[in-house]
Structure 1
Amino acid sequence: MTRIRGTGQEPCGALLGAGWWGVAALVSPLLRMNLRRRARHGKEIVACLPQRRGMPGQPRPPGPLIWLHASSVGENVAIVPVIGQLLATDPSLHVLVTTGTVTGAEVLLTRVAALPGHARVIQQFAPLDVPRWVRRFVRFWHPDAAALVESELWPNLIAACRQQRIPLALVNGRMSDRSLAGWRRARCLLRRMLSAFGWVMARSMEDAERLRRGGASHIDLVADLKDAALPLPCDPAMLATLRHRLAGRPVWIAASTHPGEDATIMAAAGLIRQAVPDALALIIPRHPARGVEIASMAGAAIPRRALDQWPDMDDGVWICDTLGETGLFYSLGAPVVLGNSLPGCAGGGHNPTEPARMGCPIASGPQTANFRQAYTRLGHGARCVSTAHDIAAWIIPLLQQPDTARALGDQARRLAAPDPEVACQVARALRALGGM
């Protein structure tokens, strides 16, 4: 555990914090307008907009309460095992979970529904970081302990917790070199925020070092919470239907794709069809709304899952643009190329343990900095590809030799086996932080 002594920079942090406080307060009318605009585009739920201003969506239950804030899908999936451990250890405990996206909320509620005691989980949308909005939220819920997940560092929210003497934890803390450099002009504000955490879990040794340099003084655990995640859910009846519809065709998957990768994937699908004429590429965009955009790129009719369209033998591509069905497609055990990693996109990668735990051979582009530790764990079990020709050269032999593909998938499953002890450690730390 690393300790950092006082730096004498607290006044600087307070000054910058006051500046952020003032700016956030001034722009609150614009934030209200933006929330309404987002609701018109389906990015917010109209009935839940008051929650974004810190207003509760339901009464606070009596007894102990632990609050977890996880912004989007990946973070919400990662904390589900921790929620399960918390519910199992104390039948009087409630868990409040705030999310920042509609998709994250939907995925969270779906996953939590399978946990014993799930009725004691409360989902709310996180208040925006406006002083009076976060104060209203914190005063109403007043949790016994609060945990922010990964990189959710919001000055006013953290300040409100400090004012109400709510113990804070940073879970699966993440900070890239770029993020740390981005804080260089507000380094003392970063130090002020990170020093507020009484318990810090860093996702990797590299993240731990950057958080320490930023000002975290209680780094007590270095582990990746996503290593504790269970396999993605899959409806057995739908899987049987999917297998029947595909009728044994050789399939490969391009998963969690982002803008800038579509042309490479489409080109790879064409090359693969030249060698394996009945091959089918399943493209799963990270954001399902992009299904229309991807379909329009091809210049021909491409079946889309969101329209309940199924591919026939003449189709080389099927766009699987639905929410919450990635586990269904991974259950095929087909080779997977993970997106947000190929040249031409913003990059950073996606979590390879999800397909690996379902027996899928894994490949990815070179931009995987956000999941470096997970890829290190898989070692040679994950292939690096950059071009359409790279993808085709990897996929074609696996489609032609199913036994080789199954062996690679089994190897990936073994290397990515979940570690439930990580979730237990986090749950114990949160309960201890809250004096439970």
Structure 2
Amino acid sequence: MKGRAAPVPLQVYRGVTAAATLLAPIWLRYRVGKGKEDPGRLAERRGIASAPRPKGPLVWVHGASVGEVLSVMPLLDRLTERGFNVLLTSGTLTSGRIAARRPNPALTHQFVPLDARRFVRRFLDHWQPDLALLAESELWPNLIGETGRRGTPMVLVNGRLSQRSSARWARLPNSARALLSHVDLCLAQSRDDGQRFEALGAPRVQVSGNLKFDVPPPTAEPDALEKMRTAVRGRPVLLAASTHSGEDAVVIDAHGLLRREVPDLLTIIAPRHPERGADIYGLAEQAGLRVRLRSAGHLPDGATDLYVADTVGELGVFYRLAPVVFVGGSLVRHGGQTPIEAAKLGAVVLHGPHVWNFGALYARLDQEGGAVPIEDALSLAEGVLAQMTDSTLHRHTVEAARRTTQALSGALDRTLAAIDPYLAQIRLARR
């Protein structure tokens, strides 16, 4: 549908977002106040670059948030090893901090512009990427439309489309088809994802697998890990990782049930958004728990019931301390966070029913006995207690999870093979 008039819903979207550019400064200041934007880099959100464009071929890779950025990191490394400069964009403060921890002279990070044509055009005028790789489900109409109109090849990598998102787009079939017509190739995580993209009109779809299976386990700073191990002193540890609002109270209730059987239990909550740390601290205090906050510089001591790990980039430390992990975003209607990191580091994964973001993976883990589904505080406590008191059950669950994740690896090599013709074309064009 390139060259044709855009469907009416897309035209309306363009008009609304164009008008909303006048309110962008107010909106961005509001987000700064909420701790969701870097006040020193707000211009990037309006398409104004804070770094020069590197000379030579440039591959632009976009991931919305932490999960997407982490999943494409090995791909970025491979691209820079091949001599390409890479522009990485993301939309959250936390993802920007993670990118900053991976210094690479061939890699530049910018916050993605808000999805208004004026901002996107300004962004593209400066960076002029030779290839755009969009991770997972980033289908922003102006971002894709303006990039496509410039003739820049676009590939959706690690493509994911949930049933809910697919159903929403299906209500606007002409708009979905027009948008996806700009995408040269869609590399889907699973067959189900691929079929959903095809149903919405994606012209070329391949199933390449999930890049998250090829991401190395999160690292742990040795000194921080040793300090935590000393502070824990061999106590049984339950980790609630990447929790969302509404889940922390369930974890706290489960802790209350568990300490009847495991009186020296230490529960660690690592919220998906660290700025919620103070709220979780308040919930724990209301429940009568002795709680400490990592962002305040505290370590747990022998009297600590609950430890709030409200920092960025330290999950690798806490995964290595906990034999059992509840993976958040799954007891509330968020869709679940990835269980892969915990499974790779030998922890048993427990999860709620709302896991459509990784539905096929969780279904396979559950089927193979590599994860434990739960529904509430009582079933969470029961699942944790069973894994902590039965070493044979724990070992079998861990081994099943490792077999499952290892069998699903290989997406990185398949992705590189699929985009290799685009990379070769860039080299030829630049010569």
Distance in 2, matches of 1:132 and 1:243, equals: 51
- Alignment CA distance shift 1:119-1:295 (3 Å): same
Q: State the SS of the aligned residue for 2:30.
A: helix
Q: Give the secondary-structure state (helix, strand or coil) at the position aligned to 1:98.
A: strand
- Partner of residue 99 from structure 2, selected from 102, 108, 112: 108
Q: Does 1:66 align with 2:66?
A: no
Query: Quick one: distance in 2 between partners of 1:31 and 1:318?
Result: 38
The Cα of 1:19 is off from its aligned counterpart by: 2.4
> Are the aligned partners of 1:52 and 1:128 in contact in 2 as well (CA < 8 Å)?
yes
Name which of 181, 184, 187 aligns with 1:198.
184
- SS state of the match for residue 255, structure 2? helix
RMSD: 2.0
| DSSP 3-state at the match of 2:292 | coil
Structure 1 counterpart of 2:352: 365
Please give the alpha-carbon distance, in whole angstroms, between the structure 2 residues aligned to 1:397 and 1:15. 56
Matched positions, count = 420
Structure having greater relative contact order (Cα 8 Å, sep ≥ 6): 1
Q: C-alpha separation between the residues in 2 aligned to 1:338 and 1:317?
A: 17
Q: CA separation in 2, counterparts of 1:55 and 1:418?
A: 43
**Compared with structure 1, are the counterparts of its residues 16 and 54 closer, same or farther at alpha carbon in structure 2 (3 Å cutoff)?**
same
Deviations 1:166-187 (A, max 9, x none): 0011112222222122234432
Residues 1:270 and 2:261 are matched in the alignment: no
Q: Deviations over 1:14-35 (max 9, x none)?
A: 4433322221111101122101
Instruction: Tell me if the contact between 2:71 and 2:211 (Cα under 8 Å) persists in the aligned partners.
Output: yes
> Contact 1:150 / 1:170 at 8 angstroms: preserved in 2?
yes
| One-letter amino acid of the structure 2 residue matched with residue 262 of structure 1 | D
Q: What is the aligned partner in structure 1 of residue 132 from structure 2? A: 146
Which runs of 5 or more residues in structure 1 are unaligned?
1-5
Matches within 5 A, 1:290-369: 290-298=276-284, 299=286, 300=288, 301-342=290-331, 345-369=332-356
CA distance, structure 2, for counterparts of residue 209 and residue 245 of structure 1: 49
SS at match of 1:152: coil
When residues 121 and 420 of structure 1 are mapped into structure 2, their CA distance, relative to the original with a 3 A threshold, is: farther
The 3-state SS of whatever aligns with 1:336 is strand
Change (3 A) 1:227 1:157: same
Please report how far the alpha carbon of residue 363 of structure 1 lies from its aligned counterpart in structure 2 after TM superposition. Answer: 1.1
After superposition, the Cα gap between the structure-2 partners of 1:429 and 1:64, relative to the gap in structure 1 and judged at 3 Å, is farther
Within 5 Å, give how 1:155-194 maps onto structure 2.
155-194=141-180
| Within-5 A mapping of 1:83-94 | 83-88=76-81, 90-91=82-83, 93-94=84-85
Give 1:400's aligned amino acid: T
Task: Give 3-state SS (helix, strand or coil) of 1:249's partner.
Answer: coil
Please name the residue that 2:30 is paired with: 37
| Letter in structure 2 aligned against 1:367 | H
* CA displacement 1:74-103 (0-9 Å, x = unmatched): 000000011111122x22x10100010110
| Percent identity of paired positions between Structure 1 and Structure 2 | 36
Partners in 2 of 1:240 and 1:272 — Cα distance? Answer: 26
Shift of 1:371: 0.7
Displacement after TM superposition at 1:284 (Å): 1.3
Q: CA-to-partner distance for each residue in 1:313-354, whole Å, 9 max, x for gaps?
A: 333221111111111100124201111112xx2231111111
Instruction: State whether residues 244 and 271 of structure 2, in contact with CA within 8 Å, keep that contact through their aligned partners in structure 1.
Output: yes
User: Any gaps of 5 or more consecutive residues in structure 2?
Assistant: none
SS of aligned partner of 2:317? helix
1:230 lines up with 2:216 in the alignment: yes
The answer to whether the 8 A contact 2:371-2:397 is kept is: no
| Equivalent-residue separation in structure 1 for 2:396 and 2:309 (angstroms) | 26
Partner residue in 1 for 2:87: 96
- How far apart are 1:303 and its partner, in Å? 1.0
Deviation at 1:208, TM superposition (A): 1.1
Q: Please name the residue that 1:281 is paired with.
A: 267
Which residue in the other structure is 1:395 paired with? 384
Higher mean displacement: 405-414 or 140-149 = 405-414
Deviation at 1:429, TM superposition (A): 3.0
CA drift at 1:401: 4.1
Q: Are 2:122 and 1:136 aligned?
A: yes
CA distance in 2 between counterparts of 1:333 and 1:296 reads 23
Deviation by residue 1:277-318 (Cα, 9 ceiling, x = unmatched): 111111111111111111212314411111122223333221
Given candidates 30, 35, 42, the residue that maps to 1:49 is 42
Aligned to 1:3: none
Which region of structure 1 is more displaced relative to structure 2, 174-183 or 57-66? 174-183
* Counterpart amino acid of residue 353 in structure 1: I
Length-normalised TM-score, structure 2: 0.92
Instruction: State the distance in 2 between where 1:402 and 1:280 align.
Output: 19
Task: Report the Cα distance in structure 1 between the residues aligned to 2:400 and 2:320, rounded to whole angstroms.
Answer: 16
Question: In 2, Cα distance between the equivalents of 1:212 and 1:67?
Answer: 24
Separation in structure 2 between the aligned mates of residue 384 and residue 341 of structure 1, nearest angstrom: 10
Is residue 202–residue 223 contact of structure 1 (8 Å, CA) maintained in 2? yes
TM-score by length of 1: 0.91
Return the alpha-carbon distance in structure 2 between the equivalents of residues 119 and 419 of structure 1. Answer: 32
